[in-house]
Homo-oligomer: A and B are copies of this chain.
């Protein structure tokens, strides 16, 4: 069954996600702040675009967002030409942006006041996952709304799960990022040590990736870290945004995150080294091999 969908935000992630929906036969109207990208998308996928978020969302049963941060979401939802101006009772707003749980709750409340359903739905899987339609989606909201969304989400997700009330998707994404911070720092120190020890780091990775030290990062970023390649998508600047959200949430819920906080500071050093746009595995760059006499 074809659904009328608005998709706001055609970045690295949103562009292919919206494409999958259109390819699956849905009626998709997009909006992108930089209009050229919307035009390109319309041409590529034979879809429609609107001049503002509100225009794109007009008449949509489903409105999806995938923009930058809390402020960006606020702009396209509550702003002068935000989607809330045209969304109608019974429609559903899904936010794929990685943002704060507070924002999710605020959106849920604002939507509820207008009879609109809301799901926070941050994703993981990166650019490759978005393009292959193989994202993982962590959701917060009501079960009935999730049931409604699920068939549509499946066009770009290999896994989508409701984890609790509004905000739970964002909180789960934070759990994800905390894990990554520890894994990547451990891996960076390990490869730096291997280098200082004069080992063939790739041979060591071959061996240890079969055991208790194994991780997705080790298998997918370990070898490229050894080669000094850091152009695999999820940027340090995004990671710091996510860690900031996470550390602020911890401030509220009382969690202690010593290594997460430390790695966040180490990423600051990577930014100072000019690595803002490099992917998160560039964390290893700040570990300098000693000068050898």
Contacts and interface: CB of A to CB of B under 8 A. Distances in A.
Interface of A: 101, 124-126, 129, 136, 138, 158-159, 161, 163-164, 168, 171-172, 174-187, 189-201, 203-204, 206-208, 210-218, 220, 234, 240, 244, 246-247, 249-251, 253-266, 268-269, 271-274, 287-291
Contact of A207 (B172, B220, B288): B172
B187 A171 contact: no
B183 A213 contact: yes
Count the copies.
4
B175 A193 contact: yes
Nearest to A124: B211
A180 B175 contact: no
Contacts of A200: 163-164
A262 B289 CA distance: 18
Contact of A215 (B183, B197, B201, B257): B183
Contact of A199 (B164, B203, B234, B264): B164
Contacts of A196: 250, 253-255
8 contacts: A124-B208, A124-B211, A176-B190, A178-B190, A179-B186, A182-B190, A215-B216, A254-B268
